[in-house]
Amino acid sequence: MRVPQIDLMRQYKSMKDEIDRGVLGVLESGQFILGPPVKELEQTLAELTGADQAIGCASGTDAIELALIACDVGAGDEVITSPFSFVSVAEVAIKLGAKVIFTDIDKQTFNMDPAQLEDVITPKTKAIVPVHLYGQTTDMDPFMEIAGKYSIPVIEDAAQAIGAKYKGRPVCSIGPLACLSFYPTKNLGCYGDGGMVLANDKELGKKVEALRKHGQIDKYKYNLIGLNSRLDSVQAAILLVKAAKIEAWNERRREVASIYNERLAGLPVEVPFVSDFAYHVYHQYTIKTGNRDGLRDFLTGKGIGTAIHYPLGLHLQDAYLPLGYKKGDLPNCDEVSGQVLSLPMFPEIEDAEAEYVCSMIGEFF
């Protein structure tokens, strides 16, 4: 049996007619950039996330950039974020001239440890960007309390966590700004690049909306230096079809996670820890094991796709060595990056496939 880590074609085939109609409708309308599907998607996702406003943009990375610019992050400022994540936050902050400050993660949740936050805040701190990694929320209350004490905006990186909840509240409804990615492999993904900024602050929302179209507040009237980051109508039409199914898909991911949890019990692997405040949507189902590379190679030989998210903390990546971090500075991140392995996880995976994955892990051990 072959089990891919993710299979996007299964999903497309399950809704081919709806997707094709949506795309064809855009082609026939001739409104390809910020057309009616974009406005409808923005309204849909504002309702889904509980955010006050949703602003579509060209990618998840652009969403981070727009949010940081809206918070006036620039040369000489500092941005606090996680070293155990995709590169977007660190990349964009440095492009804007800011310095990235990493804090270590919690070894159970893989998210930033709020207990370390206040130790790294300085007068130069301009934004705090916690990442809701793998589909589980960060413990947001301490972040919001500490950030409020110092009047620092919190930007939720919810790229991997649409539909996740913190103490019953949807991600993207907690901080003044939040960011989503619609990269194809995400729980809600398009067929190209796409992203969205969610705003719970009216002035910041207006600013992001102008920034995404060159800083334009009215036709050929500019009050900001912006960028070209508009969500195209074709991708929005695709996302509208998928958005209607996201809650069911997330529930299916949770069902698959339950199969994994049950079948892997008793084996020398650590299954995902779920905080009591979190509604986990399992963008990834990521285990920890001391023999990660051996298990990965064995599963590959059995036709099972896996992935490593992430094999090296950002603080130790060549591009970020000038920040001055060295191995051992963030020990939890260093340890976890050598142990994590993401198993096949997508809504269309069959129970028998998930069980096969577990049986092969059992065979390995």
Look up residue 267 and give its DSSP letter.
S
AA letter at 280: H
Tens digit of pLDDT at every position of the chain (365 positions): 999 999 999 999 999 999 999 999 999 999 999 999 999 999 999 999 999 999 999 999 999 999 999 999 999 999 999 999 999 999 999 999 999 999 999 999 999 999 999 999 999 999 999 999 999 999 999 999 999 999 999 999 999 999 999 999 999 999 999 999 999 999 999 999 999 999 999 999 999 999 999 999 888 999 999 999 999 999 999 999 999 999 999 999 999 999 999 999 999 999 999 999 999 999 999 999 999 999 999 999 999 999 999 999 999 999 999 999 999 999 999 999 999 999 999 999 999 999 999 999 999 99
Q: 148-171 burial, b if ≥16 CB within 10 A, otherwise e?
A: eeeebbbbbbbbbbbbbbbeebbb
Instruction: Quickly count: other Cβ atoms within 10 Å of residue 179's Cβ.
Output: 29
What are the tokens at 256? 């698959």
Residue with tokens 């960060």: 138
- CA atoms of 44 and 182, how far apart (whole Å): 14
- CA atoms of 321 and 159, how far apart (whole Å): 25
**Omega within 30 of 0 (cis) for the link into 183:** no
> Whole-prediction pTM value?
0.97
First to last CA, the chain: 19
Q: What pLDDT score was predicted for residue 233?
A: 98
Contact 199, 176 (CB under 8 A): yes
Q: What pLDDT score was predicted for residue 335?
A: 98
Burial of 18 (0-12, 13-18, 19+ CB in 10 A): middle
Q: What is the domain partition of the chain in residue ranges? A: 8-103+110-243, 246-364
Q: What pLDDT score was predicted for residue 231?
A: 97
AA letter at 26: V
Contact 134, 110 (CB under 8 A): yes
Q: What pLDDT score was predicted for residue 219?
A: 87
- CA atoms of 338 and 284, how far apart (whole Å): 17
For domain 246-364, give the fold: Aspartate Aminotransferase, domain 1 (3.90.1150)
Nearest to 291 by CA among 313, 308, 269: 269
Hey, which bits of 280-327 come out as E strands?
285-288
- Architecture of 8-103+110-243 per CATH? 3-Layer(aba) Sandwich (3.40)
Packing angle of the helix pair 233-243, 16-29 (nearest 10 deg): 150
